[in-house]
Amino acid sequence: MDISDKRENTKRVAKNTLLLFGRTLFMMFIGLLTSRVVFETLGVDDFGLYNVVGGFVSMFTLLTSSMISTSSRFITVELGKKDGDTKTVFSVVLTIQFILSLIIVLLGETFGLWFVNTQLNIDPERMFAANIVYQASLLSFVVNLLSVPYNSAIVAHERMDVYAYMSIFDASVKLLLVVLLKWVPFDKLIFYVIFWLLVDIITRFVYGIFCKRNFEECRFTFLFDKHRFAAMFSFAGWNILGTSASVMSGHGVNILINIFCNTAVNAARGIGCRIDAMLMSFVGNFMTALRPQITKNFSSGNLDYSFSLAMRGAKFSFFLLLLFSMPVLLEMEFLIKLWLGQVPPYTVAFARLSVIYSLLFTFSDVLYSVVNASGRVKEFQIADGILIFLNFPLSYLFLKMNYPPYVTTCIALVISCVCLLVRVLILQKIVGFSFKDYMLRVVLRSIFVAVLSFVIPILLYNSIEASFGRFLLIGFVSVLSTFTVVYVCGLEVAERVFVLDAIRSVWNKLKIGCSKSL
């Protein structure tokens, strides 16, 4: 790949990241504005009920997540080929989704229904509402499952502007929900879940119409391509192993917390996860823009450039999350109180540990992109799945011994460190990814940057009493400290050029946009 192609790819990644970044800022503003009202209106118990029942349905995401990575990988690979048959791939993926939807509905209306009504710790007076939440969540899950091929096509074509436009619709709906939720004369939790189900259905149709009008391959034809079915099921099957372990580590542990504690603790964990999700969305934007480039370059034989993108992606993802999470980590209790008006027990601990976990996970996230691009996922997913699954039995053991519920996230942190080492070693074995370079140039260097960046903000935090002024000061100092340390100590010469090219590209786009508007 020549220099002009690399610069064009850099511009494309920068443009798509900027679009998704703007979308995230907009969504975060609306989300913070509406979340407090939703939390206050539903109350701690109903908010926790929604998290545990909806979380149980989300355990089926082991199928969805595996199919998202499968469909994205196969569609993107076909686009990277000169003679790729994306139409056949799309039709095969959607056919598989229909089959999986039927399986999920069957499991959900038998085992799932029994589990919700007999095993979860739910107030008997709220069982009817719990069942409505369950049915709405199950149907919403199926709708989103059928949307996977269309969303994968949008990402593969790198049309991130579509997500930016849809955020306007999503934000408008959230504002409408807040207004209506305050005034509905019947059960507010039931109204909340049914409203969101309708939104999911509308969103599904909007994405479907857009894809059919803009991408030729997104026209479904029922067909049975034995070779592609076998390849996709093999790829998805091994991904399911790793994803199922992640589901048990996340939603499975949430159910354990419900059994050993109560819905109020589920609410605390849910709040912590929401804060973490908001921060991770910034990193997710960057990786969503970068992932197609990693896959396309790998499939076309540009392995060195693909590995280089992966290493930069991991490092930049960590730095982005560090930039936003540092003031949040330090001022977590103040922010939650400002946001929700109250701080349920264990919320601060759950939130801080979740953010630290996500910082570590940025080193692993990009590795999934490389292994998926290679298609050789078997060994990777077996080792990954076994290690991640250990979080579930270990959490059960420690909760049984009456440790505080946030011990589950501490266990996940330790396992995550071990998983990172194993993932890089396996990737080195199957595709030649350098373990030494990754650990020294990415992981250890990034951790060193994080430690240096925290020094001044922590000194300020410990020397000034809690107040809104301290929060603003720490936020400003944290951003300045992180930017300085990252640029001086975190980036190599080539990476500085990469960043400057991306900034220059974004700046030129903004100047062109402003001149056109004038």
Q: What is the pLDDT of residues 114-135, one digit of tens each?
A: 887 887 777 788 888 888 888 8
CA distance 258 to 48: 9
Residues 6+ apart with CB under 8 A from 320: 282, 283, 286
pLDDT value at 104 more than 60:
yes
How many angstroms separate the CA atoms of 453 and 326, rounded? Answer: 9
pLDDT band at residue 507 using 50, 70 and 90 as cut-offs = low
Q: What pTM, to 2 d.p., does this model score? A: 0.66
Alpha-carbon distance 128 to 188, whole Å? 13
For residue 9, give both structure tokens. 């790819």
- Predicted confidence at residue 440, as pLDDT, reads 92
pLDDT category at 208 given cuts 50, 70, 90 is confident
Of 394, 137, 414, 92, nearest to 252 by C-alpha is 394
What is the chain's mean pLDDT, rounded?
77
Please say if the pLDDT value at position 167 is more than 70: no
Average pLDDT over residues 250-265: 78
CA 86, 91, 94, 99 dihedral sign is negative
- The 10s digit of each residue's pLDDT in 385-404 is 888 888 889 999 999 998 98
Better-predicted residue by pLDDT, 26 or 277 = 277
Higher pLDDT, 454 or 498: 454
DSSP H helical segments within 184-225, as ranges? 188-214
Q: How confident is the model at residue 203 (pLDDT cuts 50, 70, 90)?
A: confident
User: Number of C-alpha atoms within 13 angstroms, CB side, residue 32?
Assistant: 14
- What letter would DSSP give residue 160? T
pLDDT, mean of residues 324-329: 86
More reliable by pLDDT, 5 or 382: 382
What value does the mean pLDDT take over residues 133-160? Answer: 77
Which whole-number Å values give the CA distances from 192 to 38, 84, 180, 266, 423, in the listed order?
Answer: 9, 43, 9, 18, 40
Q: Give the C-alpha separation, 437 to 511, whole Å.
A: 38
